Structures are given as C-alpha cells and as structure tokens.
C-alpha cells in the first residue's frame, strides 16, 4: 500500500493542486478544508496509524492550524511528520510552527515540487 497523506487547507484550488500532485507520486490522499474536520479525523487513532504525513495550512477559518498541530503533537508525540503551509513568513512565525511540533515549514507562495521533495524525504 502507498503512503497516505492528510492535506488540510481551506483554499480549494490549492487543496486540489496539492492533492493531484501527491496522487501523481502514488500517495493516497485525504483532503480536508476545515480545521474541525481535521481535528475530528486526527482524534481517531486508527486514522493516524495509517498516515505517513500531515500537510497543514496554518490559517484556517475555524481553528488555527497551530492549535491542531499542538493537539496532534501532544497526543501522538511526533509519530507522524507535519509540514506547515503558511503565508506567515516571519522568523517568529516559522520558529513558532517548528517549536510546536512541525517537521518542516513552507511559506506561501511555494513550489509544489519542493513540497513533494520534502514530503518524499520526510516520509522515507
């Protein structure tokens, strides 16, 4: 079975692009556009057990991506790597994301190929 990735982003076009990029590399993709849905998905340990990677947008309309990250890291202790996507590019924001448990941090605008490369390395 291929690697499974959960992508959470409220930007539908970007979500679709990331989804198809991952699919083209053989990943199984679960796409969610709401923070609450992502939270519910991640609360179920059986879902997390089958995940290889979480790609999380930092700014979601209903919950802050960082809150999801915090919950995820506290519950699963870095069991699954996380890549944060964000338009917040200051050093402070990047440091905050990494300190709360993200494995990597990509600032928008980003190159989808770079995201795939990072995902490939992290999930190897």
Partner 1 sequence: MIDYHLLTLFLIGEAFILLFLMGMIVFHRIFRSFSDRVIAKKKDQFSQYYLSLIESKKPFSVQEHPKVGGNEKILLETIEEFKQRIGGELWYSIQKGVVDSFLISLARKRAKSFFWIKRNFSSRVFALKAYPEDEETILKLMDDKKFLVRSPASFASVYLESQRGVMKLVQTIKNEYGYSQFIYLDALIQGSEKVFQYLIDIAKDPLYHKIILKVLAARSWGRVIPFLESNFNSGDPEVRFLSLKVLMRNPLPNTSEHFFKGVLEQDVGIRALSLEGIGAYPTDQSSAILEKALNDSVWEVRLSAGKALKRLGQLGINILCRQKEGVALEVAKYVLVFG
- Residue 121 · residue 30 · CB < 8 Å: no
Residue 93 engages partner 1 in binding (rule: CB under 8 A): no
Whichever of 20 and 50 has its CB closer to partner 1, that residue is 20
86 DSSP 8-state letter: E
Angle at 112 between CA 29 and CA 37, to 5 degrees: 35
Residue 7 structure tokens: 């992508």
In the shown chain, the binding pattern of residues 21 to 50 toward partner 1, with x for contact by CB under 8 A and - for none, equals x--x--------------------------
Residue 87 engages partner 1 in binding (rule: CB under 8 A): yes
Sole binder of partner 1 in the list 28, 108, 122, 123 (CB under 8 A): 108
At residue 106, φ and ψ (nearest 5 deg) are: -115, 130
Minimum CB separation from partner 1 for residue 122, in Å?
Answer: 19
């Amino acid at each position: 079975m291929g690697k499974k990735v959960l992508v959470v982003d409220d930007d539908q076009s970007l979500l679709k692009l990331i989804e198809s990029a991952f699919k083209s590399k053989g990943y199984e993709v679960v796409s969610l556009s709401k923070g609450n849905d992502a939270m519910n998905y991640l609360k179920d340990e059986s879902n997390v057990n089958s995940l290889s990677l979480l790609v999380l947008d930092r700014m979601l309309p209903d919950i802050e991506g960082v809150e999801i990250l915090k919950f995820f890291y506290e519950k699963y202790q870095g069991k699954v790597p996380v890549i944060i996507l964000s338009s917040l590019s200051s050093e402070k924001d990047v440091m905050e994301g990494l300190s709360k448990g993200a494995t990597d941090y990509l600032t928008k605008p980003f190159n989808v190929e770079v995201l795939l490369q990072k995902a490939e390395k992290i999930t190897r």
